[in-house]
Amino acid sequence: MTDQPTKQKLWGGRFTGKTDPLMHAFNQSLKYDQRMHAADIRGSIAYAKALRRVGLLTEEEEVKMTQGLDAVGREWATGQFQPAADDEDIHTANERRLSELIGSLGGKLHTGRSRNDQVATDMRLWLLGEVDDIESSLKGLVRIMVERADKERDILLPGYTHLQRGQPIRWSHFLLSHAFSFRNDLERLQQLIPRISVLPLGSGALAGNPFSIDREFLAKELGFTSLAENSMWGVGDRDFIVEFLMWSSLTMTHMSRLAEDLIIYSTAEFGFVTLSDAYSTGSSMMPQKKNPDSLELLRGKSGRIFGDMAGFMMTLKGLPSTYNKDLQEDKEPLFDTVDNISASLKIAEGVIATMEVHGEKMQQALTMDVLATDLADYLVRKGVPFRETHHVSGRAVALAEARKCQLNGLSVEDYKGLHEKFSDDVVEVFDFEASVERRTSIGGPSRKTLDRQIAVLRAALDQK
C-alpha cells in the first residue's frame, strides 16, 4: 500500500514516505527559533495586506487572516501557544495554527512566499528590535563612565604600560580611555543598522515573486529602510549576521580589556577599586575571599562570543548560492551572542556605577620615578635635545636607585652634577598634579583636555 503524501509539512506534496523521527528532530528548529514569533506574525500580516493589494485576497479575507494572525500572536505572548509534533519551525507552527483558527483560508498566506525569504525577513526584523536595546545599553555604559569621570577628576594614579608604572594620569582619563573604545563601538553599531534594515520579503525561494507583490509597500509597512535588489542575494545573504557577530566580538574585546584592568586594580596588591557586593561572590572554602566574578565572566564571555562568530563564518564560507539548510545554523550563534552581549553591557554598567574608588591608594602608588619623563622635559624646555635629556634623566634614576631614595631625594647639587642646565627650580618637577596639568594637548589628562573628551562623548550619546 502506498503511503499518502505528508501534507502537514509545507513541502509534503512531493514526498510519500514518512520522515525518520530522528531526522525530524535533527531538522526541527522551533525549539530555538520560536523567539522570532512576533517578527514572523508581523511579517505575515504585512504580506497578507500585500496579497490583497494585488487581488489575491479579498478585503474580507485579509481582515479574517489578520485577526487570525493577531490571535496566534496573543497565544505566544500569553504562553498559551501549543506546538504540534509536526511543527518544524516558527513559520510552519504559526501557519498551522492560523489554519486551525480560520480554516483553509490560512493556506493562501504562503502564496508566492517561501520560507527562504520569510526566515531572512524574520531574522532581520528580530535583530533590528534587539539592536535597539543593545544600543541603549551601550549608551548606558558609556554614560555612567562619563559621569564618573566628570565627578572624580581630582583622583590621580599611575598610568601603566607593560603593567609597569609609566606616568601620572587622572582616574578620569583612565575611565574615558575605555569609554572612547565603546564610543567607537556605538558608531559601528549605528553604521550597521542600515545593512540589517534591508527587506528580503518578496524574493520568493530564489527567483522573485510571480504575482507583482509591491515590495516597496512591504518595506514601508515593516519599517525597512531599503529592500533586497536581487532575489537570489536576498534569500542567501547572512552578511548582516556576520557583521553583527563581528561587531559583538570587537565590543566584547573592549569589554574584556576593561574587565582585566579592573580585576587587577581590585586585587589587594593594588587596592584601587572595590566591587560592590552585588557584583562579587565568595569562595566555597576561603571565607576571606571576595571574587570579581562579574568582571571575570565579562572577560570569559568575550571568548564565547568570538567563538559564535568564528563558528558561523566556517559554516558560511563554503555554501553555494542562495538558500541552503546550513543557514539554519545562523540562529543559535546569533541568539547566543545577542543574549550574552545584552547581559554583559548591563552588568558592566552596574559594576562601574557601584564600584568604590580608593583615591588614597592610587595616590600612594605614585612614586617619583613616574616623573622621570617630566625631568627630561624640564631640560628640553631649557634647550637640551630630548635624546640627551632622556639619557640624563636615566642617570638620575640610576643614582636615586643606588642611594635607595626617590628622585626628589636627590639634592639640587646632585642634579647640577648631572647636567649644567639643572637649576634650583628643578624641585618644581616633583609635583604629580603639575605634571598632569602640563599635558594640555588634545587627548591629554589635564582638566582642560578632560572637559573636551567629556563633551565629545556626551555629543556621541546624543546622536541618533
SS3 156: strand
Name the active-site residue from 104, 162, 284, 441.
162
In sequence order, what are the residues at sequence separation of 6 or more whose Cβ sits closer than 8 angstroms to the Cβ of residue 303?
none
Please indicate whether residue 37 is annotated as part of the active site. Answer: no
Side chain identity at residue 439, one-letter code: R
Annotated catalytic residue, options 136, 212, 276, 283:
283
Q: Tell me how far apart the 2 most distant CA atoms of the chain are, in Å.
A: 110
Q: Is 175 within 8 Å of 145 (Cβ atoms)? A: yes
R_g (Cα) of the chain, nearest Å: 31
Whole-angstrom distance, CA of residue 134 vs CA of residue 346? 9
C-alpha span between 212 and 234 (Å, rounded): 17
Active site residue 283: yes
DSSP state letter for 274: E
Distance CA 144, CA 131 (A): 20
The whole-angstrom separation of Cα 421 and Cα 287 is: 58
The CA distance from 410 to 392, in Å, is 14
User: What are the cell numbers at 227?
Assistant: 529592500
Distance between CA 322 and CA 237 in Å, rounded?
7
Catalytic residues, by residue number, are 162, 283
